[in-house]
Amino acid sequence: MLTRLWVPLVMCICIMCVPSRSFAEEEDLARLLERAKAFASENRFDEAISAWLSALDRLSGSELATVRKKLGLTCQQTNRLPEAWHFLSLYLSSPDGRDDSMVRGWSQEVEDSLKQTHVKIRISCHPEGASIKLPTIESPAGPISRRCPITWWFLPGAHDIRLEAGGFLSRKFEVDVLPRDDPGARKLVLVPPAPKPSRALEWSLIGSGLALGAAGGVLNVMAWSKNKDLRAKYDTEATYDDARRRQVRPMAIAAYTLYGVAGAAALAGIITWAARTPGGSTEGPTGVTVSPMIMPGGTGALMTFDF
């Protein structure tokens, strides 16, 4: 009876916890926005910008447009002109800001000021949608990541840009901006390097070859020691040969079989390693099968490569 009561009780608790957590997050976001508004009214612009940036990823629709507008105007007041241009451009491209002629005029003022000192560069990336971190203001969590492609205003000089994309290695690019660059005409295509192929298959094959070779060596030593004991034990050649055939030869065959498989496994690892293309591609054998074979007069192994 108690077990039956526990199930609906636990379900009720889970159902009640989900909305309460959502309400708590909403209250936290509302307090953050109120705090940013209070900071701005007190001319504590750096703190207001930090609070708005913290809330940015949790907003959407009209709320997001409004915060972008406030960020743009506050950055303009604090002479962070590239950031002001960025946020005002995002606001003006939204349905809320499309017909806002006053903000459009402020944005034009910001752009006219930037043309005197900065260079506008269009940055595209491969793959598209990669995360890019620019030399700009930071949120409390660190530099803000934006999505490629993006247009940004740079001061002449060297700038570090970090690019991150799923399936690629993170990379830092150094971009040299010259004063004579034509604004709007310069384009950069940034491509992060692909990760190096995993060598787990090759190392496992080579390691297996070494382990099998060592096991074959142990068997070979045991066979040699047994043969020595039999030689000392039996007086006649016939009895010695019969005992050797029954007790030593199976160990010797097993040892040489292991030698053959070990050599084949190590060779397969080396061949697979060499078959990888040097540019980081994983094209080449996707699998290797090593099978021992007993042939007339000896032993060997069959290697099969899957492409």
Cβ(29)–Cβ(55) under 8 Å?
Answer: yes
Peptide bond just before 135 cis, omega within 30 deg: no
Q: What's the CA gap between 38 and 116, in Å, rounded?
A: 34
Query: Do 290 and 266 contact (CB within 8 A), yes or no?
Result: no
Residue 189, pLDDT above cutoff 70: no
Contact 213, 263 (CB under 8 A): yes
Q: Which domain holds residue 101?
A: 26-115
- Report how far Cα 180 is from the mean position of its chain's Cα atoms: 37
Helix ranges (DSSP H) in 133-248: 200-233, 237-247
Last residue of a domain, one of 53, 81, 115: 115
Q: Look at residue 3 and tell me if it is in a domain.
A: no
Domain termination site, one of 134, 169, 195:
195
- Write the pLDDT tens digit of every residue in 33-56: 889 889 988 989 989 988 888 888
Residues of the chain with pLDDT > 70: what percent? 70
The confidence band for 69, taking pLDDT boundaries of 50, 70 and 90, is very high
pLDDT attached to residue 88: 92
Shared domain for 267 and 297, answered yes or no, is yes
> Taking the complete model, does pTM exceed 0.75, yes or no?
no
For 191: left if phi > 0, alpha if psi spans -120 to 50, otherwise beta; the answer is beta
d(CA 17, CA 159): 47
SS3 percent helix, strand, coil of the chain, rounded to 5, is 55, 20, 25
List C-alpha distances in Å: 214 to 103, 211, 254, 260, 284.
77, 5, 12, 12, 29
How confident is the model over 226-246, as a mean pLDDT? 77
Q: Answer whether residue 149 is part of any domain.
A: yes
Q: Which residue has the higher pLDDT, 239 or 76?
A: 76
Residue 63, domain member (yes or no): yes
| DSSP notation for 133-145 | EEEEEEETTEEEE
Residue 152: which CATH number? Answer: 2.60.40.1120
Q: What is the pLDDT of residue 73?
A: 92
User: Do 70 and 124 share a domain, yes or no?
Assistant: no
- Mean pLDDT, range 23-30, rounded to an integer: 67
Task: Examine the domain organization and report whether 110 and 122 are in the same domain.
Answer: no
Domain co-membership, 107 together with 50? yes
Whether residue 234 is contained in a domain is answered as yes
> 291: helix, coil or strand?
strand
More confident residue, 126 or 193: 126
Flag whether 65 is in a domain. Answer: yes
- Least confident piece of the model among 75-79, 165-169, 172-176, 252-256: 165-169
Domain count, the chain: 3
Query: Is residue 7 pLDDT above 50, yes or no?
Result: no
Question: Which of 195, 228, 249 is where one domain is finished?
Answer: 195
Identify the CATH number of the domain in which residue 47 sits: 1.25.40.10
